[in-house]
Amino acid sequence: MRIDVLTLFPGMFRDFLSESIIKRAQKKKKVNIRIHNIRDYSTDKHKKADDKPFGGGPGMVMNIEPIYNALKHIVGRRTAARGRERSEAKPPRRGRRAEQSGAYPKGTRVILLSPQGEKFEQKTAKRL
């Protein structure tokens, strides 16, 4: 199993991934976890990945560009590794799951987290 994590804070994962069950699973090649810094995929000269909310208000929102570029890069590399020829990964068509639209290799799941989303519980983890 391969897990790619996109984050603005890759350093937060170093200790977590080098301990306990996760460390043993990686050592036995049961799971391959890769951490990607979203800022590395920003085209902004300052590697900016967030912006002020449209319409004002407190807080910040994520720019879609670096997230989309990261997904495109990761999926492109995974597709090439599987021997498929695809010049560019396309985003899923509206209203369809990515794996149904052919945008990603079969069996790939893309899970985007949001503060407005449902609470992540054990039941959801088992379903996914």
**Residue pLDDT, tens place only, 17-33:** 888 899 999 999 999 99
Query: Above 70 in pLDDT, residue 90?
Result: no
pTM for this predicted structure: 0.68
Mean pLDDT over each residue of the chain, to the nearest integer: 80
**Residue pLDDT, tens place only, 30-47:** 999 999 999 999 998 889
Helix (H) or strand (E) holding 125: helix 122-127
Q: Which residues pair with 32 in a beta bridge?
A: 2
Residue 103: what pLDDT? 64
The average pLDDT across 65-83 equals: 79
